[in-house]
Chains A and B, each alone.
Chain A
Amino acid sequence: MSRFFAGGSSDSDTSSSDEELYSDSEEERSEQEGSSENDSEDDSDMGSDDDDSSSEDDGPEGFLKPGAKAGASRFLRGEESDESDEDESKRIVKSAKDKRLEEIDTIIRTIENAKKINDWVLISNEFDKLNKIVSKGGQQSETPRMYIKAIADLEDFMGETIKTEKESKKKMNATNGRALNSIKQRIRKNNRTYEDQIAKYRADPEAFEKEPEATPEPVAAPKRKSAAVEAAAAANAAIAAGDAVDEGEFSTIGRGGRTVAITPESIFKQLRAILEARGKKNTDRAEQIRSMDKMLGVAATVYQRIRVLLVLISTRFDLTTASASYMPIAQWKAAQEEISKLLETLEANPQYAVTEDAEEIDDEESEAEPVPKDGEPVKIFGSIASLIERLDDEFTRSLQNIDPHTPEYIDRLKEEAPLYATAVRAQLYFERLSHASSISRVLMRRLEMLYYKPEQLIKFIEQTTWTEALPSGLESKITPYNGKEQPSELMHSICTVLYKQDNRLYRTRAMLCEVYHHALHNRYFHARDLLLMSHLQATIHTADISTQILYNRTLVQVGLCAFREGMISEAQQALQEISGTGRVKELLAQGVQMQRYGAPASPEQERIERQRQIPFHQHINLELLECVYLTASMLLEIPFMAQCGSAPDAKKRVISKPFRRMLDYHERQVFTGPPENTRDHIMQASKALASGDWARAKELIRAIKIWELMPETEQIKDMLSEKIQEEGLRTYLFTYAPFYETLAISQLAGMFDVSERKATALVSKMISSNEVAAALDQKTNAIVFTAGVEYSRLQNLALALSDKAVQLLDSYKYR
């Protein structure tokens, strides 16, 4: 309230033309709008916010504050945003406005003159010019009264001319006639926009012109004052009307202090007006919403209710301006509730159906509402699937923008349950209509709300949905609920429906979601088989970016799953593609990567990237990911490095580049302190492993704290210890084989604390695959290394050369 006056009367505030401050205030406003339902508390808040500026001028504020505040605030809030918009324009184009009015004046005069000589060509031109000017200014301010007067007069004159034209046989000349015809159309169309004002003018031209308006006084401040007076008057009127509201006959205060009564009969008309105003810049949506809220209370028939709800929900979504980062939460909640209400209405009244293939209703022709004929439900145009999608999108957007480390985020997250319930409800509705494409749209949303969740959570959300959120008696064919079914069954039944869709996007995403789900629950083989069967890796680069992100997430999850299951090389392979690139954040859409090369991204790109971000609660822990990747790389790379030894192409054969780079970096350091972070741990463990000190490597790896994030930490640690023992043994053999003639198995087994049987098996494997030149002696139970198999450099090169020659020959293509 106070801010409203402050902004108006003091030009000291004009610093708001400054970009930054402007956007600030804008945000603030959107916040206010969001919370417009609960007032007084908010009000005082606002007051304190603007304390300093309001203290500068207490004139009008002091005048209003004491009495009218509570009542007025309620009705003025809506105006506020518009009026302050006006401030903006007025401040900037103060003189321009005068100029504009002058221009209008001249044009009107020209039209008057043209009328006298019946020159419709001139009138037509001037009329266009007039409209252009008015609409240019009209976006920011009210239409000047003289314009209304002019167009009203013009319409009258036109009517007369046409009449006389018909009566007198004499034709006017061709160009003039054509101009008349064309302007006839345009005037009708144009005047419809200003219908009520024209009506008012027609009713009492004198009073209309006398009404106070901004025009006479070009200075802004007095205008403000008059606006304030007007507002005060309106407030009084509103208080007076307060009783009437209770009686069900609601009156709302329009822009010019008009009173609009809402009755069941006028609902359609009102709705039409709202729909027509949609997309225009200075429509007051908050105001519309409030009036529709009332309409909902007034609506007499089911049909009306449905219609009002449809418009109301979409208007709520319109409320989000492009500059605001996400839909106000209160609005979102209201929208969610209204969609539920809409679905409830539709459930209770199966004779009505909201479908996308219904004809667009044109109330203009028939004010009468359609009555359900026998058996055939009345079809109403609307798309519940889109509403659900929009609701979900807005939910995601809000999560993207709320700081995940605040309680707000958690509060917001709690609202996923009602959202999920609404989606399920919509699905049931579409199942009843057997509307396949909409079912799949809703199912897709449902699936995407579920796939990243662990089983317990899915169970929980299903349970709350079916037992609490949904009325009993609803049943689903696709996803029946009996309280006992397994989450993976649910996932599968959803996916099965989606696999049958023609739309490839649904199939791909459903497939990825199912794979992700399997991987999350340690069903590695299921996940892998499904992923391989989909042949996605061949086509994924042609998919849209969000699907690619989902693919990356799935791949990473499969890798983590393999790791948990102890399949190190599979894990490494799966993770290689993502973790090996060094652009993990970007690929998983979990934060914007620092730009290393070239120019930083343009703001446009940055915005798009931000939109793609995955909400925090769905993130895959990046540190854990790195840790897993590096550990897996270590277990593969260290023995491999030892095996390559001094081979000439040892440098070229690399399993994991990032790992090598880090290891190099680590080795270059002059002094290495005790390990601090995960990476240090792994690097030092790698060094220990390479030198045969498996016990230290094991200790270091086990000391990594982030393993705690994995379920069944101890098992994973044990698995890792075992792997370290094995790989340590192999590394040892690779590294120190040249120094032994024979080596007893028992010695080796003791050294690495494994059973002799296992040691034998490991050694046998190495011998069989020609990794070491040795053989076992059963009598003495020892490994006998074959001497003289270490090739000289020349011999190695000769072998390499012969290989290359064969390759070269193989690459020749016979055509």
Chain B
Amino acid sequence: MAAGNSFDLVPRILPYLDRLLIFALLEHASEQKLYSEDVLLQAKFDLMKDTNMADYVTTLHKKISGSDAEVSEYVERREKVLEKLAAFEKESAELLQVLRNPDVVAALRPDRAQNIAYLKENHNISPDSIEVLYHYGQFQYNCGNYSEAADLLFHYRTLASDADLVMSATWGKLACEIMTLQWDNAAEELLKLREQIDAKTFSDPLVQLNHRAWLLHWALFFFFNADAGREKLTELFLTPAYINAIQTATPWILRYVTVAVLASRAARKTTGGASRAASYATYQKQIRELVRVIRQERYEYSDPVTEFVYALYVDFDFEEAQAKLSESADVVRSDLFLVASADVFLESARHLVSELYCQIHQRIDIKDLSARLNLSDEEGEKWIVNLIRDTRVDAKIDFSEGTVIMNHPPQSVYQQVIERTKGLSFRTSQVLAHMLTARNATAAVVGESEA
């Protein structure tokens, strides 16, 4: 675990997270038992001191100090919070009442200005009271009532016009969804935020970069949810704008990118048939992109996970890769975000190694390969058989010699030429059709003008 700790990224990640998200992370950490309980408790306490969750803080305090005495400070705080809550409730009661009316919901349109006008006309709601929703939502969030906060912010977003506040409301909603583990909703919010960040023209590019960095970090929570989010995550990570953000601001995210990309292979395996070749191609492309970035950023950031990819794809040093892989197993297992994906990652990494190995070699000793993969002979044989079946490598096992013989048929020239020219005739006819329509169009225009 010592090796894993030296590559611990939590201190680097924390500045990019919301207070309550950190809390979630700490909860997760205590589940994984990576840190000692006392340290975590203290951290939680420090974290929550200023939030509205007075009750929780009190319990925490009791736990830390070991005494049952109520601290007056927190009692006071609790009362204040309740007071404020009541005030908010009162203020927004009318508005919420209206909004919960199904007729009103039906009448609301995507056009915000129109919505506001509608509410004002029919229900006498001023734009100012809409602001209350936002603050109420924020307050609820700080109290830990995530689903209510999400609800409020959702309403706010449909009505509000202030772009900055809408943005921060979206951030808030994303946080709520993450906290309540609503991954589908969260993914939706993530997408919305991404659109907003990309579409908005920031006066200062640095602000945009910061937003992207936050988004990248928040997105890490999707790792908690093993499968569904990962593909989207990979896509997000490898979008040029975000790759740039990673390279300039937060190179340590590369570890997660690597894991996400490699692990997505496992997900692909389940999709069958026709799309498989296509998905394999995108997978190859992603790997290439990943290798490029890792290579470029190696001087800035490297850990066993990225070093593994580097050793494998840049140096083609299998022994080094092997060493790095076993190191990275520790790292991945001790990483808060990655624990869930650790096995998938290791499996995929092994696959990668053997695939590349097979590609390069003509005859492989099964014993040697098994050793390379940290497997026993028998397991190794099974593994190879599986590999041959899965990747449809042209290979056979020579049992008497204990070797696998790979057959790399040279691609014939005819095949290559056919491959390349396959689409030509179709595309040519497309071009022709396009040209004809274009000509007809101009001819029509000319005809009209003459007439």
Residues in chain A within 8 A of chain B (CB atoms): 525, 533, 757, 760-762, 764-765, 767-768, 773, 775-780, 784, 786, 788-789, 791, 795, 798-799, 802-803, 805-806, 809, 812, 814-815
Contact = CB atoms under 8 A, between A and B. Distances in A.
Contacts of A768: 316, 356, 359-360
B225 to A, nearest CB: 35
Nearest to B359: A768
B438 A815 contact: yes
A404 to B, nearest CB: 37
Nearest to A525: B299
A564 to B, nearest CB: 15
B420 A525 contact: no
B316 to A, nearest CB: 4
Given A776-B361, A778-B368, 16 more contacts: A525-B299, A764-B318, A768-B316, A776-B362, A777-B361, A777-B363, A778-B365, A779-B365, A791-B413, A798-B417, A799-B417, A803-B420, A806-B421, A809-B424, A809-B431, A812-B431
A786 B360 CA distance: 12
Which interface residue of B248, B317, B360 has the most chain A CB atoms within 10 A?
A: B360
B319 interface: yes
A775 B427 contact: no
B315 interface: yes
A264 B417 CA distance: 97
Contacts of B359: 767-768
Nearest to A524: B299
A126 B403 CA distance: 118
A814 B403 CA distance: 54
A778 B434 contact: no
B434 A799 contact: no
A798 B414 CA distance: 9
A703 B415 CA distance: 50
A591 B424 CA distance: 55
Interface string B412-451: 0100110011001001100100100010000000000000
A338 to B, nearest CB: 45
Contacts of A533: 248
B360 A764 contact: yes
B246 to A, nearest CB: 14
A532 to B, nearest CB: 10
Given A778-B365, A779-B365, A805-B424, A789 B417 contact: no
Contact of B361 (A765, A778, A788, A814): A778
Contacts of A773: 410
Contacts of B417: 798-799, 802
B300 interface: yes
**Binding site secondary structure of chain B:** helix
Interface string B340-367: 0000000000000000100111111100
Interface of B: 248, 299-300, 315-319, 356, 359-365, 368, 401, 403, 406, 408, 410, 413, 416-417, 420-421, 424, 427-428, 431, 434, 438
B431 A776 contact: no
A776 B403 contact: no
Contacts, number: 74
A799 B403 CA distance: 36
Given A802-B420, A815-B438, A764 B362 contact: no
A788 B438 CA distance: 48
A437 B2 CA distance: 54
Contact of A786 (B248, B319, B410): B410
A63 B325 CA distance: 102
Which of B248, B417, B438 has the largest number of chain A CB atoms within 10 A? B417
A767 B413 contact: no
B403 A779 contact: yes
6 contacts: A764-B316, A775-B361, A805-B424, A806-B420, A806-B424, A815-B438
B393 to A, nearest CB: 12
Q: Which of B318, B356, B361, B410 counts the most chain A CB atoms within 10 A?
A: B361
A415 B417 CA distance: 71
Contacts of A764: 316, 318, 360
Nearest to B402: A779
Contacts of B368: 778
A765 B315 CA distance: 7
Nearest to B431: A812
Contacts of A762: 316
The 8 nearest A-B residue pairs measured at CB? A775-B362, A764-B316, A795-B413, A802-B420, A777-B363, A765-B316, A776-B361, A525-B299
B406 A775 contact: yes
A795 B401 CA distance: 38
B352 to A, nearest CB: 12
Contacts of B315: 761, 765
Nearest to A533: B248
Contact of A775 (B360, B401, B403, B428): B360
B413 A799 contact: yes
Contacts of B365: 778-779
A744 to B, nearest CB: 14
A791 B428 CA distance: 28
Q: In this complex, which of B359, B421, B431, B434 has the most chain A Cβ atoms within 10 angstroms of its Cβ?
A: B421
Nearest to A779: B363
Given A768-B356, A799-B416, A778 B364 contact: yes
A789 B420 CA distance: 18
Contacts of B300: 525
Nearest to A775: B362
A685 B29 CA distance: 60
Contacts of A525: 299-300
Residue in B361, B362, B410, B438 with the greatest tally of chain A CB atoms within 10 Å? B362
Nearest to B369: A778
A588 B431 CA distance: 49
B410 A789 contact: yes
A777 B405 CA distance: 9
B410 A788 contact: yes
Nearest to A788: B410
Nearest to B364: A778
B434 to A, nearest CB: 6
Given A776-B360, A778-B364, A778-B368, A761 B317 contact: yes
A798 B316 contact: no
Nearest to A526: B299
B232 to A, nearest CB: 29
A767 B362 CA distance: 11
Contacts of A815: 438
A757 B408 contact: no
B316 A805 contact: no
A767 B360 contact: yes
- Of B248, B299, B365, B401, chain A has the most CB atoms within 10 Å of the CB of B299
A765 B310 CA distance: 12
Which of A773, A776, A803 gathers most chain B CB within 10 Å? A776
A764 B431 CA distance: 43
Contacts of B299: 525
A382 B226 CA distance: 71
A786 B408 contact: yes
B409 to A, nearest CB: 9
Given A777-B361, A784-B362, A786-B410, A757 B319 contact: yes
Nearest to B421: A802
Contacts of B362: 775-777, 784
Contacts of B363: 777-780
A577 B300 CA distance: 27
A533 B249 CA distance: 13
B219 to A, nearest CB: 25
B408 A775 contact: yes
A371 B317 CA distance: 81
B432 to A, nearest CB: 10
A298 to B, nearest CB: 57
Contact of B428 (A757, A780, A809): A809
B364 A761 contact: no
B35 to A, nearest CB: 34
Nearest to B298: A525
A196 to B, nearest CB: 64
A786 B362 CA distance: 10
